[in-house]
């Protein structure tokens, strides 16, 4: 499997600031999506010779290609065959490949680069190397990864930093490409960086001020090749951390990651727990989020950071854990306790995360399309009593036995979506054989004769409505990726919301009829 090369390369080893000699460097950029476009744009500005390849010859990609050609000399190759192998740069082999994070290490382009001994970076690695400009480093990074909760935690971290009066931004996997944040002309006081396992795979010199792996569970096994490889890439978030490695005290695996990490001398290990914290931890005491890590008198006292009420009514346990992780990150940066509280009060969670959609006939409809793996779905299911569960999609190589076995007693029925949910169906047969399983009908089709995601979701909502009883929750927490039937988890969530609204409106019309 291709990996980020650590082999010494004098030319690349010298490229550690914006002002290093990037001029003429031959770089192949794979993908022209958000991160790929940002990487190519940056490299062109640095004076590198850039070739960009992408297999999709779409109108959007052609527009991006035209933009790159306007800002500098870029050779953009789109469409079939563009990514069949290692492209040359001005007739020569590239000196560096910068890859988009979603591209698997086994992809022909990356495999060919690895075979040729060409280093492969991601946009995060490139961003770290250009963060110093004219001798002035950009903001410190607070790095966040985990199987679940990354986007919530990075948003909370950003909100806390801003509550402290700092100019801060959430960047990376969360939406704003890290290179765009780095190049902001006003600069930042701090950057909360969400890092996926894909992005971490291609890093090896990043040195955050503080870092956290929120949790670890089986996910993206198809991309990484094994759970061990996935876990190893997640653990890279702790490499070279300067001040504090934050770990989940309720999951020993994350603590072992910290123990095994090669960090900057003097870096501390700080745990977070939803229970009572020990020394050098943050946790919860009598409904209060407290700090026993970043205060002088931590052996005998704790500092109040916030209240569970600041997270909203009946906040689930995993949300409190995310808040504690964010609090530990900003406390490592030096933020005062009052900003933790104010940041949590100001924080507005993103959509498609345990989002109530409607309530009708004492049945609650909840959208958690962001639950793209079993670990996330488990957190959703645990928040409710009797559930009609809408689930299924791309499994990403994970298994569902533990999820189903742990939640079988709360399942009223299961409605399966997804082009192939055979693994989830099999787990249900093994561990919840008495629970009715309904396959969403797929009679409605799109232009090419295949079921549209919207049509499948309408059928799923109708089936769930038929199975639900008063007091139940209909929960769409798929435990799977969405790309088999939808553009993204957001598209899937929007389809669910629209289908529920259509059902509720239909019921209202039926009620009005004489």
Following DSSP, what letter does each residue of 403-418 receive, concatenated? HHHHHGGGEEEEEE-S
DSSP 8-state class, residue 387:
E
> DSSP states of 248-301 as a string?
ETT-HHHHHHHHH----TTPEEEEE-SS---TTEEEEETTEEEESSSSTTTTT-
Return all residues near 245 (Cβ < 8 A) that are at least 6 apart. 210, 211, 212, 238, 258, 261, 263, 267, 268, 269, 270
Give every CB contact of residue 246 below 8 A, 6+ residues apart in sequence.
210, 211, 212, 270, 271, 272, 325, 328, 329, 332
CA distances from 316 to 31, 305, 382, 389 (A): 38, 18, 9, 18
- Please report how the helices 34-46 and 59-71 are oriented relative to each other, as an axis angle in degrees rounded to 10: 10
Say if residue 150 carries a ligand binding annotation: yes
**Mutual orientation of helices 317-333 and 337-346 as an angle, nearest 10°?**
140
Element (H, E) at 443: none
What sign has the CA pseudo-torsion 46, 50, 55, 59?
Answer: positive
Q: Is 30 marked as a binding-site residue?
A: no
Report strand pairing: 74-78 vs 49-54.
parallel
Distance CA 116, CA 502 (A): 55
Ligand-binding site membership of 203 (annotated): no
Going by C-beta distance under 8 Å and a sequence separation of 6 or more, which residues neighbour residue 185? none
Q: Report whether 353 contacts 148 (CB < 8 A).
A: no
- 146 has binding-site annotation: yes
409: its two tokens: 């007693």
Cβ atoms of residues 374 and 404 within 8 Å: no
**Is 407 assigned a ligand-binding role in the annotation?**
no
Using CB atoms within 10 Å of the CB of residue 87, give its burial: 0 to 12 exposed, 13 to 18 middle, 19+ buried. buried
151 is in an annotated binding site: yes
Which of these, 374, 354, 396, 370, lies nearest to 479 by C-alpha position? 374
The candidate with the shortest Cα–Cα distance to 304, out of 322, 329, 331, is 331
Q: Is 91 annotated as a binding residue?
A: no
For the four alpha carbons of 64, 66, 67 and 68, in that order, the dihedral sign comes to positive
Binding-site residues, please?
146-152
Binding-site residues for ATP, please?
146-152
């Amino acid at each position: 499997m291709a990996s980020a090369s650590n082999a010494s390369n004098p030319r690349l080893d010298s490229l550690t600031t914006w002002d290093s000699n990037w001029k003429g460097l031959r770089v192949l950029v794979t993908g022209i999506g958000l991160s790929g476009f940002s990487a190519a744009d940056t490299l062109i500005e640095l004076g590198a010779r850039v070739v960009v390849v992408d297999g999709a010859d779409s109108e959007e990609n052609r527009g991006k290609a035209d933009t790159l050609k306007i800002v500098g000399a870029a050779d953009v190759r789109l469409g079939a065959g563009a990514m069949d192998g290692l492209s040359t740069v001005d007739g020569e082999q590239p000196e560096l490949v910068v890859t988009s994070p979603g591209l698997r290490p086994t992809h022909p382009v990356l495999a060919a680069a690895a075979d040729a001994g060409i280093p492969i970076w991601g946009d995060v690695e490139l961003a770290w190397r250009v963060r110093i400009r004219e001798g002035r480093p950009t903001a410190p990074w607070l790095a966040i990864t985990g199987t679940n909760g990354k986007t919530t935690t990075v948003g909370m971290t950003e909100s806390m930093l801003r509550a402290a009066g700092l100019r801060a931004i959430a960047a990376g996997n969360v939406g704003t490409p890290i290179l765009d944040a780095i190049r902001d002309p006003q600069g930042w006081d701090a950057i909360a960086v969400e890092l996926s396992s894909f992005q971490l795979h291609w890093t090896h010199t990043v040195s955050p001020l503080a870092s956290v792996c929120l949790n670890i569970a089986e996910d993206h096994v198809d991309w990484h090749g094994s759970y061990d490889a996935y876990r190893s890439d997640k653990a890279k978030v702790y490499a070279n951390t300067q001040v504090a490695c934050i770990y989940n005290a309720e999951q020993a695996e994350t603590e072992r990651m910290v123990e095994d990490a090669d960090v900057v001398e003097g870096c501390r290990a700080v745990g977070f727990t939803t229970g009572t914290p020990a020394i050098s931890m943050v946790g919860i005491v009598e409904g209060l989020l407290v700090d026993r890590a970043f205060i002088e008198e931590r052996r005998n006292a704790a500092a109040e950071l916030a209240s569970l009420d600041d997270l909203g009514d009946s906040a689930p346990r995993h949300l409190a854990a995310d808040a504690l992780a964010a609090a530990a990150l900003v406390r490592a940066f030096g933020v005062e306790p009052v900003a933790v509280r104010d940041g949590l009060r100001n924080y507005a969670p993103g959509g498609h995360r345990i989002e109530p959609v409607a309530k009708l006939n004492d049945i609650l409809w909840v959208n958690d399309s962001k639950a793209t793996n079993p670990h996330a779905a488990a957190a959703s299911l645990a928040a409710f009593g009797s559930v009609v569960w809408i689930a299924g999609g791309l499994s990403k190589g994970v298994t569902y036995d533990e999820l189903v076995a742990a939640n079988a007693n709360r399942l009223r029925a299961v409605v399966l979506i997804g082009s192939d949910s055979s693994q989830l169906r099999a787990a249900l047969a093994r561990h919840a054989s008495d629970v009715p399983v309904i396959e969403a009908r797929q009679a409605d089709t799109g232009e090419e004769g295949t079921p549209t995601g919207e049509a499948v979701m309408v059928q799923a909502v109708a089936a769930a409505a038929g199975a639900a009883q008063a007091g139940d929750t209909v929960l769409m927490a798929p435990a799977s990726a969405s790309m088999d039937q939808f553009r993204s988890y957001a598209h899937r969530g929007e389809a669910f919301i629209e289908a529920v609204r259509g059902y509720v409106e239909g019921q209202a019309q039926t009620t009005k009829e004489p």
